């Protein structure tokens, strides 16, 4: 049976990946909680540097150590050692390698998929736009930047996790899209309990610590609203373009306008609006029912002085049990065709911007 003393004993022998000192020497174990009846262990650990590939490797080691000792589930929280604590070891923490997407983007087009509120299908649009661009022959990456509400791996039916080679994280590839998500780095779908600065560091890590290779498009599935992560994206990627997702409902469009206004104020171009859940079409009568009303997408596009790229009806993908991806529409599916049309419009807009 695992006890708090046993957890301290096991983890104190592990070494900080930067200081190469044991956690006992650095005083890194700040909190340990064991719920014996559930077999759950929660640990708060201070490292010399967070939001890096080294932290992710270390995290896997911690989880493996505790599960091997009998823990059923593990909750981890990382913080950084204080400057005073670091000073004891006279540590020089290496900075991120300069050759990354933030410093050497080349011809990569950055597309942020944003919404004013949750529940409008923003992640579904992100996933299917990424797949549609890949079907057009583009080299595509997708960052699930919705760090609290990550869902992209599940939507795409991703079952593998990224691996670390040297100092770089190798993203998972599915449908010819390279994917990275916070969902890969939590255990058992645990909630992420981080403050704003920690979110920014993880997002920076997704740009600087991941081996993306050459990309034509990098899509970012942003959290809904105008919070810390959206602000970080605006400051990190001054050339990023945005697609705003809404439903036809007037309130959804009204709230989505805030996300668009934020993009405009931070000099991001709103390249278009996608209206999701536009209507439901009966397979029996072919009649359309406008479940969430009409006009929200058009009104939002007019307000943001951009184009309505497409209207997506309510319909689910055809599921294939052998190659399960619950939110990805097939290329021959009606919605798959609409996503291809939207992707073609986006590529023309992006290429036009480059040529001009």
- Using DSSP, state whether 19 is helix, strand or coil: coil
Residue pair 172/156 in contact by the 8 Å Cβ criterion: no
Which CATH number is associated with domain 4-87? 3.30.300.130
Residue pair 14/47 in contact by the 8 Å Cβ criterion: no
Give the pLDDT of residue 206. 84
- Domain positions in the chain: 4-87, 109-355
Give the pLDDT of residue 125. 95
Give the pLDDT of residue 193. 47
Q: Give the confidence band of 96 by pLDDT, cuts at 50, 70, 90.
A: very low
Instruction: Extract the tokens encoding 85.
Output: 């604590």
Q: Give the confidence band of 105 by pLDDT, cuts at 50, 70, 90.
A: low
| pLDDT tens-digit map of 163-219 | 888 778 889 999 999 999 877 876 655 555 444 455 556 777 888 888 898 899 999
Q: Which residues pair with 109 in a beta bridge?
A: 217
DSSP 48: S
Pick the closest to residue 22 from 11, 37, 36 (CA basis).
11
Give the pLDDT of residue 97. 46
Q: Give the confidence band of 313 by pLDDT, cuts at 50, 70, 90.
A: very high
Give the pLDDT of residue 188. 56
* E-state strands within the chain: 29-35, 40-47, 73-80, 109-114, 140-144, 163-165, 168-170, 172-174, 177-181, 217-221, 241-246, 269-276, 280-281, 288-289, 308-312
The model scores a pTM over 0.75: no
Give the helix/strand (H/E) hosting 90. none
The pLDDT of 19-26, averaged and rounded, is: 89
| pLDDT tens-digit map of 117-174 | 778 889 999 999 999 999 999 999 999 887 777 889 899 999 888 888 877 888 999 9
Task: Quote the Cα angle for 60-22-33, to 5°.
Answer: 60
CATH topology of domain 109-355: Rossmann fold (3.40.50)
């Amino acid at each position: 049976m695992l006890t708090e003393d046993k957890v301290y004993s096991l983890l104190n022998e592990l070494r900080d990946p930067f200081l190469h000192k044991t956690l006992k020497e650095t005083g890194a174990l700040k909190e340990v909680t064991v719920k014996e009846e559930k077999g759950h262990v929660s640990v708060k650990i201070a490292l010399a540097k967070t939001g890096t590939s080294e932290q992710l490797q270390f995290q896997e080691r911690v989880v493996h150590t505790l599960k091997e000792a009998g823990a059923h589930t593990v909750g981890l929280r990382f913080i950084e050692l204080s400057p005073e604590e670091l000073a004891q070891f006279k540590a020089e923490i290496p900075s991120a390698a300069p050759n990354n997407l933030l410093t050497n983007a080349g011809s990569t087009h950055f597309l942020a998929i944003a919404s004013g509120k949750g529940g409008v299908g923003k992640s579904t649009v992100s996933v299917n736009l990424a797949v549609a661009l890949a079907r057009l022959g583009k080299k595509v990456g997708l960052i699930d930047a919705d760090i609290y509400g990550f869902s992209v791996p599940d939507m795409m039916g991703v079952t593998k996790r990224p691996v670390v080679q040297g100092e770089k994280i190798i993203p998972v590839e599915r449908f010819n899209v390279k994917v990275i998500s916070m969902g890969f780095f939590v255990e058992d779908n645990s909630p992420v309990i981080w403050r704003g600065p920690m979110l920014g560091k993880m997002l920076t890590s997704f740009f600087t610590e991941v081996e993306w290779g050459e990309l034509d498009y990098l899509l970012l599935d942003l959290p809904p609203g105008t919070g810390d992560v959206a602000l970080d994206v605006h400051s990190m990627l001054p050339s990023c373009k945005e697609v705003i997702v809404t439903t036809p409902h007037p309130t959804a469009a009204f709230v989505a306008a805030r996300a668009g206004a934020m993009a405009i104020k931070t000099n991001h171009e709103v390249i278009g609006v996608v209206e999701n859940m536009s209507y439901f079409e009966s397979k029996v009568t072919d009649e359309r029912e406008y479940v969430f009303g009409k006009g929200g997408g058009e009104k939002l596009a007019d307000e943001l002085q951009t184009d309505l790229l497409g209207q997506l009806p309510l319909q689910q993908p055809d599921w294939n049990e052998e190659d399960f991806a619950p939110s990805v529409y097939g290329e021959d599916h009606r919605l798959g065709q609409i996503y291809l049309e939207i992707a073609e419009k986006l590529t023309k807009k992006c290429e036009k911007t480059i040529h001009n």
